[in-house]
A and B are shown apart, each in its own frame.
Chain A
Amino acid sequence: GNSVTQMEGPVTLSEEAFLTINCTYTATGYPSLFWYVQYPGEGLQLLLKATKADDKGSNKGFEATYRKETTSFHLEKGSVQVSDSAVYFCALHNQNTGNQFYFGTGTSLTVIP
């Protein structure tokens, strides 16, 4: 079946620190992989995505590479800002097995000045 395992939080970093949030998945076929971000009081927003192996998604300084050999899609940012404080969800979408998204548990990130 499909599932996503995400690094547990909460994560607290100082401004300009390097961020990694680990995400691994299990899936049949070739899913698309996503990172969603939820800022306080707001809905889930698509941060980045990758639709096939070796694709790199990037947005707002965040990057994640679709690694089929390790079934991973780790989120990274070289220098976090206070405004990056949010909850981050790793997710997969597999059109071969339905229309729903499969989410990780979410990782809360707090960046302190």
Chain B
Amino acid sequence: GAVVSQHPSRVICKSGTSVKIECRSLDFQATTMFWYRQFPKQSLMLMATSNEGSKATYEQGVEKDKFLINHASLTLSTLTVTSAHPEDSSFYICSAREYRQGIYGYTFGSGTRLTVV
């Protein structure tokens, strides 16, 4: 089946530094990538949606200059958390969408646990 590889699975960084999270669709073309995050004891919440080759669309309350999303190819999307702060510590997960045989399929990555110290 469809697989999305997400790296790193865990990262600890210092305040003020930037962290890049990658999601690769291994055996299909992801025309759209969704990025979610989950704070402790809360739901997974959509942060942004990106289509290959175009700018990402951010949900209300998500800072686009802080969470940079690049979807330069049909198999790779990246999320960069810039100038990270402790409040950015969260679980981030991507979801790739492909259109196949008339329907949309969604595949999730394994998630990244970010801790900012």
A interface list, Cβ under 8 A from B:
4, 36, 38, 41-45, 89, 93, 99-106
Contact B108 A43 (CB under 8 A): yes
Name 11 extra pairs, CB < 8 A, besides A99-B34, A103-B43, A105-B42. A43-B6, A43-B107, A43-B110, A44-B95, A45-B108, A99-B32, A99-B97, A100-B34, A101-B34, A101-B44, A105-B41
A100 and B49 within 8 A (CB): yes
Taking CB as reference atom, which chain A residue is nearest B105?
Answer: A46
* Nearest chain A CB to B100 CB, angstrom units: 15
Looking at chain B's contact residues, is the secondary structure mostly helix, strand, loop, or mixed?
strand
* Residues of chain A contacted by B34 (CB below 8 angstroms): 99-101
Residue B106 lies at the interface, judged by CB distance under 8 Å to chain A: yes
Please classify the interface of chain A as helix (H, G, I), strand (E, B), loop, or mixed, using the class held by over half of its residues.
Answer: strand
**What class of interface size applies to chain B in its complex with A?**
20 to 34
Chain A nearest Cβ from B114, distance in angstroms: 16
Known contacts A36-B108, A99-B97; is A4 also within 8 Å of B49 by CB?
A: no
Contact indicator B43/A4 (Cβ below 8 Å)? yes
Q: Does B30 count as interface, using CB distance less than 8 angstroms?
A: no
B115 CB-CB contact with A under 8 Å: no
**Do B108 and A41 touch (CB < 8 A)?**
no
What would 20 A/B residue contacts be, using CB atoms closer than 8 Å?
A: A41-B110, A42-B110, A43-B4, A43-B109, A43-B110, A43-B111, A99-B32, A99-B34, A99-B49, A100-B34, A101-B44, A101-B95, A102-B43, A103-B43, A103-B44, A104-B43, A105-B41, A105-B42, A106-B43, A106-B44
